[in-house]
Amino acid sequence: MFVYEKKLQFPVKIATPNPKLAAMIISQYGGPDGELGASMRYLSQRYAMPYAEAKGLLTDIGTEELGHMEMVAAVVHQLTRNLTDEQVQNSPAFAPYFVDHTTGIYPTAASGFPWSAGSIQSTGDVIADLTEDLAAEQKARLTYDNILRLSDDPDVNNVIRFLREREIVHFQRFGECLRLCKEKMDARNVYLTNPAFDKQTPQPRS
Amino acid sequence: MYQDANGTRSASPNSASTAVQSASCPDGNGTMPSCAGLAVPYVPFQQTGSQKYAQAEALSQGTLFPGLNLPFHLKTEGSTLPSSPMTELQALDFVVLELGTYLDTHPDDTEAFQMFQQYAAMEKAAKAAYESKFGPITRTAAASGSSYQWLNDPWPWNFGQNEVK
């Protein structure tokens, strides 16, 4: 189960509303490499993992990603607070989002494509899933890089830099986890069986 | 390459380091198997005894470990944090989270586990102190007040949270 803590992982305090920036940052809430996808990916993959380290790591990182989702939502919420009709009219980048969602938080990519489970995978295969997770962390990292390229708001960049660094740490941990899993698999050929599905290891041909 | 708490990179570990360094392998590097198998991805293992930031610096940098701190455009100043009881709690909480994730892949690192125990105790005490002064962070804690304060402002996503507390 999950228990809510009424605090953010990292402080979010955006002094200046900026709907144009909000329209870009929403991608890390509901875009293809955003935090909603990250948490759903890891929290779904963990069930098929046969090894304790992988169960624990996917649970812990998946839970942290839920907190990152909340942080990204807080950034978008604060960037769009107290807007006037005129500010929305003068922000063509934000207007399409506004017409559907006003200033509510909705999981969508910056392109307007709504969040889709099609942007994540859960294969039931230890190596395939953990390798996907390595790629996912890199894709999230580069999305934060691109937000840093586009944003000159120091309050926003504080938060984005933190989230970006978390992707790098998670990449390291998934890589280590893959190594730990591999050590428990068949040393002659790690692809000989899928330990999550093939309960009996086939005898190799001599 | 090492990095001190001010974000300065240097060729040697700083005096505040809690880590035991191996001269042959700097902190930003890890270990690979001596004969790695082909056709499977490898990320080097972070070594035990890695250098660590103090908690406020860790939260600011987004990692406890200088060796894992690889910022965009090498901007090593970290993020500016408001000075508040909430931020102090967030920093303790962050060290517990970071060490927990580290221990998921390094469960036999006794030094890291001891630090995890210490920070978990500090975080627990700090959270209780915060809750008694400013209101509940968990719903369970809402039961210990004289009335139901779970609904009180500020909520975490509101602009005012770090301003009020």
Q: What is the mean pLDDT of residues A169-198?
A: 94
Amino acid at A195: P
Number of other CB atoms surrounding residue A5 within 10 Å: 17
B85, B134 contact by CB (below 8 A): yes
User: Domains in chain A and their CATH numbers?
Assistant: 19-189 (1.20.1260.10)
Residue A203: its pLDDT value, please? 62
Half-sphere exposure of A3 (CA within 13 A, CB side): 6
Q: Is residue A147 within a helix (H) or strand (E), and if so which, with residue range?
A: helix A126-150
Measured CA to CA, the distance from residue B160 to residue A171 in angstroms comes to 33
Helix/strand/coil for A71 = helix
Residue A206: its pLDDT value, please? 56
Nearest CA in chain A to B58: A162
Helix/strand/coil for A82 = coil
pTM of the model: 0.91
Helix/strand/coil for A199 = coil
- Mean pLDDT over each residue of chain A, to the nearest integer: 95
Asked if residue B6 has pLDDT above 90, the reply is: no
| B53-63 pLDDT per residue, tens | 999 999 999 99
HEC letters along B143-154:
CCCCCCCCCCCC
Residue B74: its pLDDT value, please? 73
Distance (Å) from the alpha carbon of A86 to chain B's nearest alpha carbon: 22
Asked if residue A122 has pLDDT above 50, the reply is: yes
Distance (Å) from the alpha carbon of B117 to chain A's nearest alpha carbon: 17
> Which band of pLDDT confidence, cut at 50, 70 and 90, is reported for residue B24?
low
Measured CA to CA, the distance from residue A108 to residue A27 in angstroms comes to 6
Q: What is the mean pLDDT of residues A115-135?
A: 98
Residue B15: its pLDDT value, please? 37
Residue A199: its pLDDT value, please? 77
Q: Closest partner residue to B105 among A4, A154, A180, by Cβ?
A: A180
Strand runs (DSSP E) across chain B, as ranges? 2-3, 9-10, 30-31, 45-46
What letter does residue B47 receive in the DSSP assignment?
Answer: P
**Could you identify the residue written with the tokens 């967030």?**
B90
Q: Is residue A180 within a helix (H) or strand (E), and if so which, with residue range?
A: helix A154-184
Asked if residue B67 has pLDDT above 60, the reply is: yes
A55, A49 contact by CB (below 8 A): yes
Residue B10: its pLDDT value, please? 41
| A132-181 pLDDT per residue, tens | 999 999 999 999 999 999 999 999 999 999 999 999 999 999 999 999 99
Asked if residue A204 has pLDDT above 70, the reply is: no
Asked if residue B2 has pLDDT above 60, the reply is: no
Q: What is the mean pLDDT of residues A110-116?
A: 97
Measured CA to CA, the distance from residue A17 to residue A115 in angstroms comes to 24
> Which band of pLDDT confidence, cut at 50, 70 and 90, is reported for residue B37?
confident
Residue B115: its pLDDT value, please? 98
Measured CA to CA, the distance from residue A109 to residue A32 in angstroms comes to 7
Q: What is the mean pLDDT of residues B41-62?
A: 95
Structure token pair of residue A137:
């962390």
Residue of A130, A158, A164, A176 for testing the chain B interface, max B β-carbons within 10 Å: A176
B1, B28 contact by CB (below 8 A): yes
Amino acid at B87: T
| A49-100 pLDDT per residue, tens | 999 999 999 999 999 999 999 999 999 999 999 999 999 999 999 999 999 9
Return all residues near B129 (Cβ < 8 A) that are at least 6 apart.
none
Distance (Å) from the alpha carbon of A93 to chain B's nearest alpha carbon: 23
The phi and psi torsions of B81 (rounded to 5 degrees) equal -110, 140
Residues of B in contact with A61 (CB under 8 A): 101
Residue B160: its pLDDT value, please? 74
| A19-32 pLDDT per residue, tens | 999 999 999 999 99
**A140 contact B CB<8A:** no
Highest-pLDDT range among A184-198, B72-86, B89-103 = B89-103
> Which band of pLDDT confidence, cut at 50, 70 and 90, is reported for residue B79?
confident
Give which of B7, B96, B133 is closest to A64, Cα–Cα: B96
Q: What is the mean pLDDT of residues A189-199?
A: 91
Q: Do B157 and A12 touch (CB under 8 A)?
A: yes
The phi and psi torsions of A172 (rounded to 5 degrees) equal -60, -45
